[in-house]
Homo-oligomer: A and B are copies of this chain.
Amino acid sequence: MSTHDDLRDIALAEFAVAGYAGTSLQRIAEIAGLSKSSVLYHYDSKEALLQAAIGPAIDRMDAILDSLGGSLTDRDDRHAFIVQFVDFLLAHRLEVHMFINQGPGLEDVPVIDRANAMVVKLATFFSSSVGTVEDHLRFGIALGGAAYVLSAKQDDALRDQQFGEAAQIEVRTALITIVTELLEPVSLRSAQATT
């Protein structure tokens, strides 16, 4: 992999764990084995590094949302979208974790505005106008919860590299189950026993 891409990956990992403000160019340079000047040779600024780190993820989510027509009332369409959504989360867990948790507070950064707009757009697919409070909460928990648990499992995942592939499939399957359960609208939900 090129130095350029290395820096982007390192920056993304550090931004996700230590925060954008909490990550210095010096630290990124040290991890990459370069000087701070070299980092600024490959990217014009720290903000450009942020854009390179999370931009592709936003592009992909935008593409997924654009490929969809209106709202997801059909059950099969919904399931297909949830699969796409989970795969997106698995592929871009660090990016999602980043702009979910640091989106507010990083205003005036163009790429962050795009990310926030994308989240809003995403939310409308699930809880369009008629959404109840509970439906709003369900969507938020699915999004924020999945982003959290996938970035928190990062350490475990690296440690359990030997199980890599099998474990990844298991996580994916479980995630689809849980997210489907969470996002299933009340109208499609079977009657529950009162507690």
Chain A residues in the interface with B (C-beta under 8 A): 17-22, 79, 97, 100-102, 104-105, 132-134, 136-138, 140-149, 152-153, 155, 167, 170-171, 174-175, 177-178, 180-182, 195
Contacts and interface: CB of A to CB of B under 8 A. Distances in A.
A140 B134 contact: no
Nearest to A180: B195
A110 B104 CA distance: 27
A167 B105 contact: no
B153 A145 contact: no
Given A20-B22, A144-B145, A133 B178 contact: no
A81 to B, nearest CB: 13
B148 A144 contact: yes
Contacts of A142: 141, 145
Contacts of A105: 17-19, 22
Contacts of A17: 104-105
B138 A178 contact: yes
A82 to B, nearest CB: 10
A105 B140 CA distance: 24
13 contacts: A18-B105, A19-B19, A79-B195, A104-B152, A133-B171, A134-B174, A137-B178, A141-B142, A141-B149, A144-B144, A144-B148, A144-B152, A145-B146
Nearest to A14: B105
